[in-house]
Amino acid sequence: MIQSNQVLVTGGSGFIASNCIAGLLRKGYRVKTSLRSLNRVPEVKQLLSVAGITDFEQLSFVQADLSDEAAWKAATEGCRYVIHPASPTPNFIAKHENEYIIPAVNGVLYVLRAAKAAGVERVVLTSAFGAICYGTDKQMPYTEEDWTDLSKDIPAYQKSKTMSEKAAWNYVKSEGEGLELAVVNPVGVLGPVLGADYSHSIQFINQMLNGQLKGVPKIRSVYVDVRDVADLHIKAMTDPKANGQRFLATSDESISLLDIANILRSEFGDKAVKVPKKEVPNWILRIVGLFNPQIKLILPHLGMVKDASHAKATRMLDWHPRTNKEAIIATAESLIRLGLVK
């Protein structure tokens, strides 16, 4: 039997997922969240406690993996809504792009099929800016009308997000039969960390504060605060206008890594003395990338300037994100507070 206020959030230990859970619990929803192993339940409760959640009465856990279709039937049972952030993340080096693509696409289809069978009203899929902006070079800000061009040489993670989102839309169109779908496409996610598991965008800030970077790559990107990403998911879950729509989650304008470094130094004084003051030439990083897999991951982003617009989310869902500076300061404050800066 479907409970009118019960939501499944997939991959509950993830950065976006844990913030969605916290936001839903604050609003009085019953939340069920999936984990690959229930051994991680104490860890997720600890993350949520850092986010200010003290009552776990309305939270339950279910074991489910993106590779196991059968598990999602039990996970979606009794839920009115599903928020699906779970996906392979670019925190590991894939030997083949299918290590990202296959579990991402299959995971989306497994969750959608289970949601339909369980009578779920709406699924909100967490896609990515990577499904919007790759393989093209726009002078104007990217919008929800744009799609990554899969005929070009696209990095594995971004390809997986593009293909899994397309698979979701195709499923709802061809087989969904009444299942509603909305999609949120976050750009680089910043904001307060709840533990040592956070978005790859925050790794740069942590490395700057810890003095691991002598200089920063010449990368200019768009960012968004994780609290705003969670808020947009919840708005997209309940607003009738959101059905059949995708929404870019982004702040107002792009910012370079050097700009971020300058904000850290100006705001954190002695705690930011290790933050670099210069950019590293692209040619040096390309040489280092031949030997360093982590550096190789950022090579496709060098010299890139990608702006994005949140006009649609603001117009349709009355969504108003924090500024880049607010997100950067909140990120650094949390890293320092949790002892993640040495």
Catalytic residues: 161
DSSP 8-state class, residue 322: P
Distance CA 241, CA 18 (A): 25
Q: Are 170 and 179 in contact (CB under 8 A)?
A: no
DSSP 203-230: HHHHHHHTT--SSEES-EE-EEEHHHHH
DSSP E strands, the chain? 3-9, 30-35, 59-63, 79-84, 122-126, 180-186, 188-190, 216-217, 220-221, 223-225, 246-249, 255-256, 279-280
**3-class DSSP state of 195:** coil
d(CA 243, CA 100): 27
Residue type, 159: K
